[in-house]
Structure 1
Amino acid sequence: MYAIIETGGKQFRVKSGDIVKIEKLNIEPGQEVIFDKVLLFKGNEGLKIGNPYIEGVKVKAEVIDEKKDKKVLVYSPPSKKAIHKLKGHRQWYTKIKIKEIVGG
């Protein structure tokens, strides 16, 4: 049994027990979050595809941690100049653990 959910403008394939890194949510670690934007659900009864979302199917998850990801270096090469630009960026993310998929 698995589902495809949408959060933070991205889509994730999740099943019960998975640990997933998603875009930052303003929720404290240890709290529960419910995702109701389910695009696809595969269970014992078959496959359900939403248009765009499936009603009645929700994914319950628990927030484990909020951290910054690894540093991504952005290099801008000079165009006819001797100035090099090197910038770093660390994106915030939220790590969640999928508890269960309800409905279907």
Structure 2
Amino acid sequence: MVEKKFASVLNDGASEVEASVAKADLDAQIADLRSEISRLTDSVSAIGNSAKAVVQSEAEVMADRLRERVRAEPISTLATIAGISFVMGMLFRR
């Protein structure tokens, strides 16, 4: 009877050690995941900033081209805008 109680006490001690090791392992994994999330956040932020710069640059180029086109061909530009406006008005009227 004493031997069974002694064995159960030893098993409880071993399970506490295993639980402590498992907790330390989980804490290390959580720290690794947090650092990985931080790196991914930085990467996504950098990609977003560079994409924003590209879009702004392209928008400026397109605006400049449009200004040049309007100055070069004002009548055809007005006719095109009038045609697009007419079609849009017909579509939204329904």
Q: What TM-score does the superposition give when structure 2 sets the normalisation length?
A: 0.18
Q: What TM-score does the superposition give when structure 1 sets the normalisation length?
A: 0.16
Question: Could you say which structure has the higher strand fraction?
Answer: 1
